[in-house]
Amino acid sequence: EAGVTQFPSHSVIEKGQTVTLRCDPISGHDNLYWYRRVMGKEIKFLLHFVKESKQDESGMPNNRFLAERTGGTYSTLKVQPAELEDSGVYFCASGGIRTEAFFGQGTRLTVV
Amino acid sequence: AQSVTQLDSQVPVFEEAPVELRCNYSSSVSVYLFWYVQYPNQGLQLLLKYLSGSTLVESINGFEAEFNKSQTSFHLRKPSVHISDTAEYFCAVILAPSYNQGGKLIFGQGTELSVKP
């Protein structure tokens, strides 16, 4: 069974540009999460989808971040325009009912 | 608000030595506790979890953690580490009432375990 996959694994963009991160969850998992780790700090929750609906987006830093989950399958996280402080590792995770979250390998975003 | 504190950012140890990675949490609501591990160039993997029952939980690779409610701790231990245990370890909690609805994880800052020969 395939795990959670994230694309790209690395991205280097200039300040002001747009970047879109993609996450493919484990098939059948209704719950999908985005987390972020800024260098040297803890992993922080960004948002939670249940199927295609946003269940909790309390961790989204500001309106430059837009997350979608089309048809309750894969999800995208767009940063527009990117700022230097957006650099970090973005993790996606998925889970079923009463199961732990399974994480992807993360996307390392560097804004220069 | 809930928080998780991992006091040690880096723990260097020699192979076959015992190790303890400390984790304390703060919450006014019951929580479930987790340890995740991230090996170099890999994603986060669940190492072990405490939901209920015995306060001592074990992983398949020899790690164990004990939930101590009075001290609000969930320290991770291994009696004899291997080179392959070199990784970053994350302690995390979920609010118990939200677990069945897929509640969010609240992570500590991570501890880098470095096992030297």
Segment B9-62, tens digit of pLDDT: 999 999 999 999 999 999 988 899 999 999 988 889 999 999 988 889 999 889
pLDDT at site B103: 84
What is the total residue count of chain A?
112
Nearest one of B36, B58, B39 to B47, comparing CA atoms: B36
For residue A64, with 0-12 CB atoms within 10 Å meaning exposed, 13-18 middle and 19 or more buried, which class applies?
Answer: middle
Judging contacts by C-beta atoms under 8 Å, the chain A residues touching residue B109 are 41-42
Within 10 Å of residue B20's Cβ, how many Cβ atoms? 13
Distance from CA of A106 to the nearest CA of B (A): 6
Model confidence pLDDT, tens digit, residues A14-69? 999 999 999 999 999 999 999 999 987 899 999 999 999 999 999 999 999 999 99
Average pLDDT, chain B: 93
Find the closest chain A residue to B43 by CA distance. Answer: A105
Cβ–Cβ < 8 Å for A77, A60: no
Kindly state the DSSP code that residue A81 receives in the 8-state scheme. S
Q: What is the pLDDT, as a whole number, of residue B100?
A: 77
Cβ distance of B43 and A42 shorter than 8 Å: no
**Per-residue model confidence (pLDDT) at position B12:** 97
Nearest CA distance, A14 vs chain B (angstrom): 24
pLDDT at position A15 is 97
Residue A1: predicted pLDDT: 62
| Residue A99 scores a pLDDT above 80 | no
CB proximity A69 to B under 8 Å: no
